Amino acid sequence: MRNSGYVRLALYTVLLFQLCLSSTSCSRMFRQPVSFSIGVNQSLKSAPVIIAEDQGYFKDEHLDVNITVESSAVSLMQGLFDNRYDLVCIPEYQAVAHGFARSDFRIIAVINRNQSRSLVMDGRTITGSAKLSGKRIGLAKNSAAEYTLYRILLFNRIKEEEVLIEYFSPDDLPQALASGKVDAVISWEPFTGQIEQLLKGFTIVENAHYGRDMYWLLVTRLTTSIEREDDLVRIIESLERATSFLNTRSDVALDIVSESLSLSRESLAKEWIEYSFFIELPQSLLLAMEQESSWYRSRRSVDFESPQYLEMIDDKPLARRYPRRVSIAGSGGVHAP
């Protein structure tokens, strides 16, 4: 009798295990973690990725994520193509520029909009953006700062040939301005805060966007978007939970991001109002990229047509969970009205 009881118990255990595997919740319990490497830059723009890791949202989706922080987003795309990263977070300008050379990458989502770039001026030599004519301006080469400067000059009716551009690495911009090598720089945190400390109250800081948002993108290789769509959906879900945390628990989020990225909490709090954390693929992104592409062609003397950026946007992972977050008009995919 005792043996028959053991047999019944064993049968019940097997049946329960089979039922568990047939359900979504239980099958996820036994799923092996999937590895992803994500490259981000050292700024508030990376907050959704940092929060998703800190709060365990990636683990909840059975993702084993390795995050690498670089000082600037300029080199992240090369890291993607070199297979150092599976995903990178970059400004839309980087996608525009790389689109002229290759098309084997895909934009998966916008993870935030921001107006975080500043025109930082040495108050000892210049009084404001309207007085940039004849001045030396420091930029990070091959960055979105070049297009940003173009718009600043356009709004102030200053011809591009009336200013002298000097190129520096992002880390060298603060010292370049403080030492007098240039009269102004286009910068962002944490470099803007460093400049203000170096110049000790002699800085003049203006928002460099003139109302135009910068889109911070989640980008992957074409092969990854094709072969790992289900995993990308889980990445999207993790980041969605992270943005909800950022929007509802900002005080805690600031502490986490400050500690994780070794950034001043005070400077992060100051620029927080310049950000909108929301996972989306809006029509305005495509418009912004096409505008930047037109400018890029004229400045680089590119003699062929602009890339088809719509084809470089893979809306399927986002549309599978949040179809109304996709408002880009075009063929294919799921699009909200």
Q: How far is CA 232 from CA 34, 283, 314, in A?
A: 11, 21, 11
Instruction: Give how many domains the chain has, as a whole number.
Output: 3
pLDDT at residue 297, as a whole number: 84
* pLDDT above 90: residue 330: no
Q: What percent of the chain has pLDDT above 90?
A: 72
* pLDDT above 60: residue 279: yes
Choose the final residue of a domain: 153, 181, 207.
207
- Does residue 195 fall inside a structural domain? yes
Q: Please check whether residues 60 and 195 belong to one and the same domain.
A: no
pLDDT: which is higher, 143 or 129:
129
Choose the final residue of a domain: 184, 207, 230.
207
pLDDT at residue 206, as a whole number: 93
Mean pLDDT value of segment 261-281: 93
Q: Please check whether residues 235 and 201 belong to one and the same domain.
A: no
- Does residue 330 fall inside a structural domain? no
Q: Please check whether residues 168 and 305 belong to one and the same domain.
A: no
Choose the final residue of a domain: 155, 184, 207.
207
pLDDT at residue 33, as a whole number: 87
* pLDDT tens digits, 19-58: 554 544 454 545 688 999 999 999 999 999 999 999 999 9
For position 316, which CATH number holds? 3.40.190.10
Residue 1: domain span: 1-30
- Tokens 């030492």 -> residue: 179
Q: Please check whether residues 285 and 227 belong to one and the same domain.
A: yes
- Does residue 332 fall inside a structural domain? no
Q: Please check whether residues 149 and 184 belong to one and the same domain.
A: yes
pLDDT band at 4, cuts 50/70/90? low
In sequence order, what are the residues at sequence separation of 6 or more whose Cβ sits closer than 8 angstroms to the Cβ of residue 332?
315
Q: Please check whether residues 111 and 219 belong to one and the same domain.
A: yes
Q: Whose CA is closest to 269, among 183, 149, 185, 189?
A: 189
* pLDDT above 60: residue 123: yes
In sequence order, what are the residues at sequence separation of 6 or more whose Cβ sits closer than 8 angstroms to the Cβ of residue 335?
315, 319, 323, 326, 327, 328, 329
Mean pLDDT value of segment 238-250: 97
pLDDT: which is higher, 258 or 331:
258
Q: What percent of the chain has pLDDT above 70?
A: 87
pLDDT band at 105, cuts 50/70/90? very high
* pLDDT above 90: residue 249: yes
* pLDDT above 80: residue 253: yes
pLDDT at residue 31, as a whole number: 64
Q: Please check whether residues 228 and 149 belong to one and the same domain.
A: no
Q: Please check whether residues 221 and 316 belong to one and the same domain.
A: yes
Mean pLDDT value of segment 278-307: 86
Q: Please check whether residues 187 and 122 belong to one and the same domain.
A: yes
* pLDDT above 70: residue 325: yes
- Does residue 288 fall inside a structural domain? yes
- Does residue 88 fall inside a structural domain? yes
- Does residue 334 fall inside a structural domain? no
Q: Please check whether residues 110 and 218 belong to one and the same domain.
A: yes
Mean pLDDT value of segment 100-108: 94
Q: Please check whether residues 314 and 279 belong to one and the same domain.
A: yes
- Tokens 């595997």 -> residue: 21
Q: Please check whether residues 172 and 186 belong to one and the same domain.
A: yes
Report the mean per-residue pLDDT for the chain: 88
- Does residue 331 fall inside a structural domain? no
- Does residue 333 fall inside a structural domain? no
pLDDT at residue 80, as a whole number: 96
Q: What angle do CA 95, 97, 102 make, to 5 degrees?
A: 80
pLDDT at residue 335, as a whole number: 40
How buried is 329 (Cβ within 10 angstroms: 0-12 exposed, 13-18 middle, 19+ buried)?
exposed
pLDDT at residue 136, as a whole number: 96
Least confident of 50-64, 85-99, 213-227, 292-306: 292-306
